[in-house]
Amino acid sequence: KLGKLRHRTPEETPVVATERRMKTFLLCGMDAEVNTRKKTFTEVQTERREQAERTVLIKCPSRVNEKKLLQYLSSHGKINSHFFFENRGIHALIEFSEKSSVASLQDVVGIPKAVEHHVVPFKSRLFTFTLKNPVAKTAEETPVHLSRQSHIPVNELIQKLHQADSISSQMYILLNEYQLTEENIKLRFLACSLVQDFARAYFPDSTVKPFGSSVNTFGKLGCDVDMFLDFRDTQEHAAKMKKGPFEMEYQMKRLPSERLATQKILSVIGDCLDNFGPGCMSVQKILNARCPLVKFAHQPTGFQCDLSVSNSIAIRSSELLYIYGTLDPRVRALVFSLRCWARVHGLTNSIPGTWITNFSLTMMVMFFLQKRSPPIIPTLDQLKELADEKDKHIIGGYDCSFVSDLSKINPTKNTETLDELLCDFFEYFGNFDFRKNSLNLRRGKEVNKPESSPLYIWNPFEQDLNISKNVNQPQLEKFVAMARESAWILQKEDRTQRMINKEPWGLAALLIPFGKSNTNKMRRTKGMGSETIRSLLDSLKLSNASNLQKAVGK
Ligand code: GTP
Ligand code: MG
């Protein structure tokens, strides 16, 4: 039966497949990640934030002499790392090994002369480097290596996927092209650190921390930077003070609600970025949203940023996804491929609406991986059982505790290839009873839907909320139809023939919009009779259109 057809090269036993996967993974330049893999989320975040505080960003002339620039900067202290990138001109990110070097540099940096414009004298860590005297031609011509900050377009990716020998290696190629690079991550943390400089002008104890896909291991080059202002450290300090025989507290402005305080803080910091922030453009204050935020474009780093105030649940979601993404290399490869697939077919969109969000789609993949036999990732309840005292987090009455030490989690015994997983994902959700069931990641089980939203994915931490409440019936139907079509393509294609003909195969065939793809043509040229088509559809439990509607609850 077609449903069971698998494409594995003859020598590919599960063990061989796993070995190859790991090899590709290492070849993809992920060595650093493998080495640092066992660090906890908090350790990684703290380290990166501290790095960012010792970092400056310098706009350079188009032909910069790298050696001379570094020599000049070294007089302020040792440089730990640096890289150049293009973003409306060449920029250099310089990470000093001591924070004092930044202050030393700031001490000697000049203030631009107000010729046409008047400058706001806020001294940031963004500088412009110019040469007083024209340098010798030879020095001018030394090109600097520019680190890439965006991913290749899908059509170029599809070309690259031809080089692969299996869907699994195609998925690792995609991951390697799309994932955030070390440099891009540094730039994201720098953007947060620069915003933090503004926040600290009002609240010296505050921290600006990134969350969402910049830190959860599922970020794609070009995705937005979600950041939030954290005052938690201030609260911890207050708790310490209460230990003595006296009590002394700050006199503070009192407001009728936390929401109002959030709105006021964001409003002022939004104005500050708008009025004084070098390179902060299109600042939009969206204070009446469920989660009030300030949106802006940070031109020097090139990021679209969303700033909100302490969102403890969101940071727990980021850490949970970080754990899942770090446990097994297949997790990220599958998520990246499916996010790309969903984007190509218009199932997700960068503007909010009734479609599935990347966050919901990622949770669907996690749920699917919990349901494998044996499971590839543990359920949230299992992670909670492994938690110790320091992992305890009760937020707004919800128990958000789970283990942070990755070495306490047993590696999976599952050796399925990504070829199998990708196809089964489409089959699984192509046939999922969305009308009746919801996805519960805490238990790793399908459970009856508590209410009638078309797609119900339990918020893992606030158990009475549905993270995909925004998804409407037509969008869910489209998702199911695309999943079925994709399963069908993967199961029926003659891969060897398509490789020989240099036609898109495997993942590449799924990344071409179906209306335009060669699949319809293929169906015609193969001259399949309606019987053949019917049996194919039967194998996918898609014998007629009403089945699809029934499954999604129409
Ligand atoms: P990108 O599409 O790559 O930006 O993915 P993302 O995970 O960063 O998503 P997004 O920027 O939309 O949201 C940032 C974070 O906010 C997510 O990672 C979640 O932690 C949280 N979040 C977003 N949408 C929801 C939602 O509907 N419910 C809940 N509980 N959290 C959400
Ligand atoms: Mg995001």
Q: Whose CA is nearest to atom 12 of ligand 1?
A: 359
Question: Which residue from 213, 223, 359, 461 has its CB within 8 A of the most atoms of ligand 1, so it is best to mutate?
Answer: 359
Residue 522 pLDDT exceeds 60: no
In this prediction, residues 465-487 reach a mean pLDDT of 97
| Neighbour-count burial of 391, counting CB atoms closer than 10 A to its CB (0-12 exposed, 13-18 middle, 19+ buried) | middle
29-52 pLDDT, tens digit per residue, is 444 444 544 799 999 999 999 999
Q: Give the C-alpha distances (Å, rounded to integers) separating 203 from 183, 276, 327, 403.
A: 29, 17, 37, 32
In this prediction, residues 466-484 reach a mean pLDDT of 97
* Mean pLDDT over each residue of the chain, to the nearest integer: 87
Q: What percent of the chain has pLDDT over 90?
A: 71
Q: Which atom of ligand 1 is nearest to the CA of 224?
A: 4
Ligand 1 cavity residues, CB under 6 Å:
211-213, 216, 219, 223-224, 226, 314, 317-318, 357-359, 459, 467
308-343 pLDDT, tens digit per residue, is 998 889 999 999 999 999 999 999 999 999 999 999
Residue 534 pLDDT exceeds 60: no
Ligand nearest, relative to CA of residue 357? 1
Q: What is the DSSP string of 432-488?
A: --TTTEEEETTTTEEEE-SS--SS-BB-SSSTT-BTTTT--HHHHHHHHHHHHHHHH
Q: Give the C-alpha distances (Å, rounded to integers) separating 84 from 31, 54, 141, 200.
A: 22, 17, 16, 28
SS3 292: coil
Asked if 434 and 31 count as a contact pair (C-beta separation under 8 A), the reply is: no
Q: Which of 8 and 344 is assigned the larger pLDDT?
A: 344
pLDDT level of residue 63 (50, 70, 90 thresholds): confident
In this prediction, residues 420-434 reach a mean pLDDT of 98
Distance CA 510, CA 364 (A): 19
pLDDT level of residue 234 (50, 70, 90 thresholds): low
70-87 pLDDT, tens digit per residue, is 999 999 999 999 999 999
Ligand nearest, relative to CA of residue 308? 1
Q: What is the ipTM of this complex?
A: 0.97
SS3 124: coil
Distance CA 171, CA 17 (A): 13
pLDDT level of residue 531 (50, 70, 90 thresholds): very low
pLDDT level of residue 4 (50, 70, 90 thresholds): very low
* Residue given tokens 């499971």 in the structure block: 375
Q: Which atom of ligand 1 is nearest to the CA of 317?
A: 20
* Residue given tokens 């040792």 in the structure block: 78
Distance CA 98, CA 77 (A): 7
Q: Which amino acid is at 263?
A: Q
pLDDT level of residue 139 (50, 70, 90 thresholds): low
Q: Where are the alpha helices (DSSP H) in 257-379?
A: 258-276, 312-327, 329-344, 358-370
Distance CA 6, CA 14 (A): 13
Residue 19, C-beta contacts closer than 8 angstroms, at least 6 positions apart: none
What is the predicted pLDDT for the residue at 134?
Answer: 63
What is the predicted pLDDT for the residue at 64?
Answer: 87
Q: Which of 67-81, 112-126, 264-278 has the lowest mean pLDDT?
A: 112-126
What is the predicted pLDDT for the residue at 136?
Answer: 55
pTM of the full structure? 0.86
Distance CA 119, CA 355 (A): 44
Q: Whose CA is nearest to atom 14 of ligand 1?
A: 212
